[in-house]
């Protein structure tokens, strides 16, 4: 079992459109997945998670303007996670957030498309 690390979910608003970025601390960066559902709707159902570019660690606590003022982010959930199992196609994680609590699984569907759900 790996060390406990931090995670955050940011609500990202840009030009009236909203998505959520799920970010996991991984060394010097945050591995980031784009979600279409807010954290409070993740527990009962699976959600598509699109792997996007890694973000700087400052986004663990950052809230405010992004994309040269075209968008903004606010923290929707945060906490710690422990990686229970991991390989190139699947990860099981124990999340201890304010909203997301318990075991979750990221499963690779195709290229950068993953399924994220509570198990």
**Model-level pTM?**
0.91
Range of the domain at 20: 5-118
**What does the pLDDT look like over 8-23, one tens digit per residue?**
999 999 888 999 999 9
Find the mean pLDDT for residues 72-96.
95
CA distance 71 to 33: 18
Half-sphere exposure (Cβ direction) of 5: Cα atoms closer than 13 Å: 19
**What does the pLDDT look like over 58-80, one tens digit per residue?**
999 999 998 887 889 999 999 99
Overall domain count for the chain: 1
CA distance 85 to 82: 9
CA distance 116 to 119: 10
């Amino acid at each position: 079992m790996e060390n406990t690390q931090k995670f955050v979910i940011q609500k990202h608003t840009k030009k009236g459109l909203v998505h959520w970025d799920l970010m996991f601390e991984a060394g010097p960066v945050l591995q980031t997945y784009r979600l279409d559902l807010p954290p409070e709707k993740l527990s009962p159902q699976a959600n598509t998670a699109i792997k996007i570019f890694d973000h700087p660690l400052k986004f663990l606590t950052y809230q405010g303007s992004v994309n040269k003022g075209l968008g903004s982010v606010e923290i929707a959930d945060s906490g710690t996670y422990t990686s229970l199992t991991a390989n190139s196609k699947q990860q099981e994680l124990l999340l201890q957030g304010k909203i997301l609590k318990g075991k979750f699984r990221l499963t690779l569907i195709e290229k950068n498309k993953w399924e994220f759900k509570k198990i």
